[in-house]
Amino acid sequence: MTMESIISIKGLRKSYGTKEVLKGINIEVNRGEVIGYIGANGAGKSTTVKIMLGLVTDFEGEINILGQDIRSGDISYKSKIGYVPETAEIYENLTAKEYLTFIGELYGMDYTQVDEKAMKLMDLFGIGDVYNSRISSFSKGMKQKTLIISALINDPDILFLDEPLTGIDANSVMVFKEVLERLAKEGKTIFYSSHIMEVVEKLSSRIILLNDGQIVADGNIDELKNTSMASSLENIFNQLTGFNDHEDIAEKIVAVIKGVE
């Protein structure tokens, strides 16, 4: 199998004011890889994704997506991308049908084609009956499913998923994980950010761990386990982010709960 570079990040730096959030990131992603992109809160994960999507434009370094420099002004690469944002932003006063057809059309799809596709996907995700209802009336899980559908509707080559499983029930999670695995086999590239280590460990073919704006680990799960001598991704995460006083803190918390000094 030939390695085809889908995403190439070189020397990426980004500051907000005086605070440097990304301190020189280098990543090469190949077709079909499922990247588990993890890190503590504020490590710079979302910023990286936002830069790749062109939502944040002032940065240092070079980024090529699908062979295209994202700063060239040509934004056609975005039509090959699907995105589930962590903040779950959505126009809630639209119905699912209105929202999904709108997004599809922005991707350049034909109205009737999106409509049909969206309805089928809603059905398969078990929320077909609310296709014509306003999103504001949806539960958390239903909203999240709608977002996921909006990210998949254009059959993207690259998927950026930021905590995509929030609020989704276990059965649907199983379906969605299976879908991701199949999409990866089809040659789609997936960039998966989450705090739930078990899911990341199971899904990802490669894990990139970000700490304080720098990559501190990059490899598949077995490699990481071998080098760090840890049994699970959770432990690796704790080790590499330098967090090892969880027992101590837990003890203090329990003490405060019980009201003893």
Partner 1 sequence: MKDYSILRSLDLFKGLFTKMDIDYPAMRKILQVKLTLDSRRVSTVMQNNTNQKDKDKDKNNFLKSLTIYFIMGLVMVALVLFGNNYFYQMTLVFGMFMFFMMTTLISDYSSVLLDLRDKEILLSKPINSRTLNMAKVLHIIIYTSMITMAMIGPSLIVGGIENGILFFLIYLIEIILLNLFLIVLTGLMYLLILRFFDGEKLRDIINYVQIILTITISVGYQLIGRVFDIVDLESIVLIDKWWSFILPPIWFAAPFEFFINNNQSTSVIIYSLMAVIVPIASIMVYIKTMPIFESNLQKLSGVGGKAKNNEKLSNKVGNIICRTKEERTFYRFTTNMIRNEREFKLRVYPSLGFSIAFPLIMLFNSARGSTLAQVINTKAYFNIYFAAFFLPGVLQFIGNSGNYKGAWIYEVMPIKNYEPIFKGAIKSVFINLFAPIILVVSIIFLIIFKFTIIDQLIVVYFNLILGTFIVFKLFKKDLPFSRAFETIEKRNGFLEILLSTAGIGLLILLHYFSMRIKYGLYIYLVLQLILIGISLKYLFKVQPEA
Binding site for partner 1 (CB under 8 A): 53-55, 73, 75-79, 81, 83, 85, 87, 89-91, 93-94, 98, 102-103, 105-108, 134
SS (H, E, C) the chain: CCCCEEEEEEEEEEEECCEEEEEEEEEEEECCCEEEEEECCCCCHHHHHHHHCCCCCCCEEEEEECCEECCCCCCHHHHHEEEECCCCCCCCCCEHHHHHHHHHHHCCCCHHHHHHHHHHHHHHCCCHHHCCCEHHHCCHHHHHHHHHHHHHCCCCCEEEEECCCCCCCHHHHHHHHHHHHHHHHCCCEEEEECCCHHHHHHHCCEEEEEECCEEEEEECHHHHHHHHCCCCHHHHHHHHCCCCCHHHHHHHHHHHHHCCC
Whose Cβ is closer to partner 1: residue 2's or residue 57's? 57
User: Closer to partner 1 at the Cβ: 80 or 206?
Assistant: 80
- Taking the complex as a whole, how short is the minimal distance between the CB of residue 209 and partner 1, in angstroms? 25
Kindly state the smallest distance separating residue 185's Cβ from partner 1, in Å. 25
Least Cβ distance, residue 176 to partner 1 (angstroms) = 20
The distance of closest approach from Cβ of residue 101 to partner 1 in the complex, given in angstroms and rounded to an integer, is 8
- Judged by CB, which is closer to partner 1: 35, or 103? 103
Query: Whose Cβ is closer to partner 1: residue 130's or residue 197's?
Result: 130
